Amino acid sequence: MDQTPQATVAASGRERPRTTGAHPADQPTQAVEAAGSPGQRLDDEDYPAYSMGRAAEILNVTPAFLRSLGAAKLIEPLRSEGGHRRFSRYQLRLAARARELVDAGTQLEAACRIIILEDQLAEALRINEELRQREELRQRH
């Protein structure tokens, strides 16, 4: 399993790829076009709906902080056709968690690593539970 700070985090409980660029919201602009109808996009936490300015405003951080998360490879926002960064709700949750840790005195790179390790644990627990449930079903039949 990839142990570098290039991961995306599984906050929703569904499996997410662990390498930068593999997450749907990290894909090139085609991901925006392939996201489906507007109604589907409203429910899609991976849809890159927020501009840099709006994301910074929502999180009460500076755009520089969000850029630093990209440099640390915690999140890599999708780019619009015009080259502007676009963030998903999922990425905003990651940034909010990073902000919590940084505000508590954790260095940015360490905060990113903590978030990645939290994700790996949550994903392992989710997979373990799924396998346990499958095994219970198999034993009943």
pLDDT over 70 percentage in the chain: 72
* Whole-number pLDDT of residue 26: 39
pLDDT at 34 over 80: no
Burial label, 103 (beta-carbon count in 10 A; 0-12, 13-18, 19+): exposed
* Whole-number pLDDT of residue 24: 38
* Whole-number pLDDT of residue 41: 73
Residue closest to 122 by CA, chosen among 24, 20, 11, 7 = 11
**Gap between the Cα atoms of 37 and 18, Å rounded:** 27
Structure tokens at 55: 């994301």
Q: Per residue in 81-135, pLDDT tens?
A: 999 999 999 999 999 999 999 999 999 999 999 999 998 999 999 999 999 999 9
